[in-house]
Amino acid sequence: MLEIPTIGTTNVGHIHQSWGAGGNWDGGLLRLNTGYIHYNADQGVVGIRNDDVVTVSAKVTPSKLYDVEVGWQDFFAHNAALTASGFTFVPFKDASSATMTGTGTRMTTYASFMYHPIPNVDVYIAGDHLKTTGGYSASQAHLHDTADEVVTGVRYKW
């Protein structure tokens, strides 16, 4: 059962269900991860939404000082409710006010490089590329079908 703050108080009576399967293999130098998620949602007057998500990623750790990660996620949304601005609702959001739907994909590829000069400090650079097709419209792409992002930073863990 989902907590009300997660899905909003107006979702009462609307069922959201998801299940997933995945796994990873850790060979020391190389770690591989994969997964699949299926999601169904009652969206009120626009009907049932069905999503399928596939993800694959890898992490290479040649030394304790740094690691590199790459990954890919493909999100297939079927009959997903659209906001008044035409953007696709993210899963588990209250879509009961929607009057339109779209069907399409949202694919993200990403990579990162992390340097660990000391055990509790990470210095990193990361980036991702978002591509949508069909009737999927991601709000962070600002009405475009692609978006790119690059970030860098330092993280202190205590």
Element (H, E) at 20: strand 16-26
Q: Is the pLDDT of residue 2 over 80?
A: no
Q: Is the pLDDT of residue 8 over 70?
A: no
Q: Is the pLDDT of residue 12 over 70?
A: no
Q: Is the pLDDT of residue 29 over 60?
A: yes
Burial of 35 (0-12, 13-18, 19+ CB in 10 A): middle
Burial of 18 (0-12, 13-18, 19+ CB in 10 A): middle
At 3 the pLDDT is 45
Mean of per-residue pLDDT scores for the chain = 91
SS3 state of residue 44: helix
* pLDDT tens-digit series, residues 48-86: 999 999 999 999 999 999 999 999 999 999 999 999 999
Mean pLDDT of 76-99: 90
Confidence of residue 142 (pLDDT cuts 50, 70, 90): confident
SS3 state of residue 6: helix
Confidence of residue 4 (pLDDT cuts 50, 70, 90): very low
Q: Is the pLDDT of residue 19 over 70?
A: yes
At 10 the pLDDT is 52
Confidence of residue 14 (pLDDT cuts 50, 70, 90): confident
Name the residue type at position 11. Answer: N
Element (H, E) at 154: strand 146-156
pTM of the model: 0.82
- Calpha distance 107→89 (Å, rounded): 16
- Calpha distance 139→89 (Å, rounded): 9
Query: Strand pairing of 121-134 and 48-63?
Result: unpaired
